[in-house]
Structure 1
Amino acid sequence: MEVKKGSQSVLGDIYTTLDLELINTYHSDLENVTNIVFCSDKTAFVGSLNSSKIQKINFETNNIKVETEILIEVNDMAKFTDNEILVATGQSGLTLYTKDGQFTTFKSFSPLKTASVHVTKNKKIIVGLVEYTLDIFRIAKDSHRKVMIMNQNGDIQHTIEYDRDNQRLLTCPYRINSLKDRIVVVDNTDKKREGRVVMFDYGGKLHWTYNGCNRIISDQVKFYPRDVSITSTAMILISDQINHAIHVTNPAGKVIVCCDVKVLDSLS
């Protein structure tokens, strides 16, 4: 899929927007694809939660070639260095897959478990954590739903769980991204994977909450955010799985456009 730039005027402001164009498709034998981490234009790690595996793949002209297949539980993963990835397995340890094909525990967060992981442009590591529980969406007084920020050595620099008014920021931090010194989190809020997207800073100041665009979301139609990406022009792209949409917001959390991507499937 190719992203093309356009422009749109919103209340007197000019924003760069996106036009999505399908340029190629690649078919995978994985049951589902929940993560893609690019090493280069031609290679990537692809993770599958349902298949409990990660594949290192090479992109060829019209297909993909599996170079390595790794059996591991994978909730989320992020590029650490070239050909090394950090894996949030849903257990207490954050796992590092090294260049020589070995797994090591990068950091243990026991008694919490890792839900998500992100590496920032300046190499900070951000991990989403929850406690072990049968119902992750049931919040009790002793529940822990937080993010931790570390350096490359695994030294914890910030722990964020509550905002400045001592209110919980998160229910389940499913995906994480970052924009300068601010953290953008896809927060799942119930068993159906409804959710929201929140932005806060390292001090716990909540900057905004995005609950979906009114053109799609209503009393009958909910918001199901699954992943978040940020472009070089600071546009925030949010995939909305069940609604087959990509929501585009500016850095202030204001929606610019909602793109229906069902039409792209008919072209594949």
Structure 2
Amino acid sequence: MKTQEALHGELTEPDDDYAQEQYGVEVIEQYKTGLKLVEQLICSDDGTLWIGNIAGKILQKIQLSNGLLNIVQEVQVNCAGMAFLPSGDLLISTAESNLKTLCHTTGNIIQSKNSVAPLISGAVHVTQDLKIIVGARKEGPVFQVDGPRQVVVMDIDGKTEQVYDLDNNGKPIFSAPQRITSDNDNNIYVLDCLNKDWSGRIVALDKTNGVRWIYSGHPDINKEQTIKPKDLVATKSDNIIVTDSNHHMIHILNTSGQCIHYLNTKDQLGIHCPYSLNIDNTGTLYIGCSRYINEPAIAKIYTVEVSGF
């Protein structure tokens, strides 16, 4: 599967010369996958990636090298979330109570000791201080919201240490946690969807049981469209990158919840429908996409060099 031409662009806002100089993006390469949607994407320290599509119950280990995408391994599994463990094994949520572990040496999937029973698991993330963060909810449709919607913090052995559920007023914090990330200080950020049209927000949690801030979109953008976030990832400088596939948008937030920049990837970078995100150990940003209207049912992955955030 061959890469296409490299694309170049700048993160810009109208009449903001300082911002144009401060934030930059350069699309290095693009790769065609065999998936209709790169819904999940995670980078390994050895340079390989795992990508997944929930609807197709496909999980692939891939290598991007010399302009080619090579499938190293393919697994048939319902992957609602995944994260690497310190061992190199892949921790997988299959939308059941118990998480699974895909062993990197044998390729076998086994039961994990991490569980959110009696709820079922969704998003999964491992922080730098080796806490396992899991989104959890009652089994059934994502909407209407029925029963608890939680973000559970566990130690590496599966012991629950903290549960984010209700705010200080006793009201639920989340509607439907879909993705989770953390920064260098192990602060947790949750992508929470609100309703059936997948409008959503980013919720930053504090170290106790509360909420630090909520980002519901930039006011300039909100005049025309409601943010429908799909994924988020923290950069090495502790900014949070958020994709909005429906509107071809990327939002960059600081740790105070301010949108320090945004861009339309379709107009400015030629990237349609940015969906999943991850950053490798060199700082390269990987963007997995959905296919665009009238395009072939082949989703793309872009490798991107970023600066300023």
Measure the CA separation in 2 of the matches of 1:226 and 1:130. Answer: 18
The match for 1:224 among 228, 247, 250 is: 228
Alpha-carbon distance between aligned partners in 1 of 2:58 and 2:92, rounded to the nearest angstrom:
11
Q: Deviations over 1:141-176 (max 9, x none)?
A: xx1100111111111111110122222110111000
Q: Distance in 1 between matches of 2:89 and 2:225?
A: 39
* C-alpha distance in 2 between matches for 1:36 and 1:5: 24
Q: Distance in 2 between matches of 1:4 and 1:207?
A: 33
SS in 2 for 1:216: helix
Distance (whole Å) between structure 2 residues aligned to residue 167 and residue 2 of structure 1: 46
2:149 corresponds to 1:145? yes
- After superposition, the C-alpha distances for 1:209-246 in whole angstroms (9 at most, x for unaligned) are 1011122223x511101111111111111111111111
Q: CA contact under 8 A between 1:237 and 1:246: conserved in structure 2?
A: yes
Give the alignment partner of residue 167 of structure 1, picking from 171, 174, 193. 171
For the pair 1:101 / 2:114, whether they are aligned, the reply is no
Is the CA contact (8 Å cut-off) linking 1:5 and 1:17 kept in structure 2? no
TM-score between both structures, scaled by the size of structure 2: 0.77
3-state SS of the aligned residue for 2:270?
A: helix
2:88 maps to 1:88: no
- Aligned match for 1:18, one of 19, 23, 37: 23
Distance 1:51 1:139, change over 3 A: closer
- In structure 1, runs of 5+ residues without a counterpart are 9-13
> Relative contact order: is structure 1 or structure 2 higher (C-alpha 8 Å, sep ≥ 6)?
2
Q: Secondary structure at the match of 1:225?
A: coil
Q: Tell me what 1:246 maps to.
A: 250
Q: Matched residues in 2 for 1:96 and 1:214: separation?
A: 41
Aligned to 1:25, what secondary structure does the other structure show? strand
Change in CA separation of 1:23 and 1:153 when aligned onto 2, cut-off 3 Å: same
Q: 1:149 to 1:31 in 2, by over 3 A?
A: same
What is the SS of the residue equivalent to 2:91?
strand
Q: Aligned partners of 1:72 and 1:195: how far apart in 2?
A: 27
1:188 aligns with 2:187: no
Which amino acid in the other structure matches residue 158 of structure 2?
A: G
How far did 1:192 drift? 1.5
Output the CA distance in 2 between the equivalents of 1:181 and 1:82: 19
C-alpha deviations, 1:25-49, integer Å up to 9, x for none?
Answer: 1110012111111113631111111
Judging by fraction of residues, say which structure has more strand. Answer: 1
Are 1:197 and 2:202 an aligned pair? Answer: yes
Is the 1:158–1:202 contact (alpha carbons within 8 Å) kept by the matching residues of 2? no
Whether the aligned pair in 1 keeps the contact of 2:177 and 2:190 (CA below 8 Å) is yes
Distance 2:11 2:194 in 1: 33
Partner Cα separation in structure 2 for residue 130 and residue 266 of structure 1: 33
What letter is aligned with 1:197?
A: I
Which residue matches 2:291?
Answer: none
1:11 maps to what in 2? none
What pairs up with 1:10-159 in 2 under 5 angstroms?
A: 18-40=23-45, 42-81=47-86, 83-99=88-104, 100-106=106-112, 107-134=114-141, 136-140=142-146, 143-159=147-163
Residues 77-121 of structure 1: CA deviation (Å, up to 9, x unaligned): 111135411111112221111121111121232321111000001
Rounded to whole Å, the distance in 1 between the matches of 2:22 and 2:218 is 15
Gaps of 5+ in 2: 1-5, 14-18, 273-301, 303-309
Q: How large is the RMSD of aligned CA atoms in angstroms?
A: 2.7
Aligned to 2:284: none
Question: Separation in 2 of the partners of 1:62 and 1:172?
Answer: 38
Q: How many equivalent pairs are there?
A: 260
Comparing 237-246 with 179-188, greater Cα deviation is found at 179-188
What letter corresponds to residue 53 of structure 1 in structure 2?
A: I
Separation in structure 2 between the aligned mates of residue 125 and residue 2 of structure 1, nearest angstrom: 36
- Percent identity (aligned): 26
Does structure 1 retain, via aligned residues, the 8 Å contact 2:8–2:28?
Answer: no
Residues of 2 paired with 1:23 and 1:215: CA distance? 29
Q: Secondary structure at the match of 2:85?
A: strand
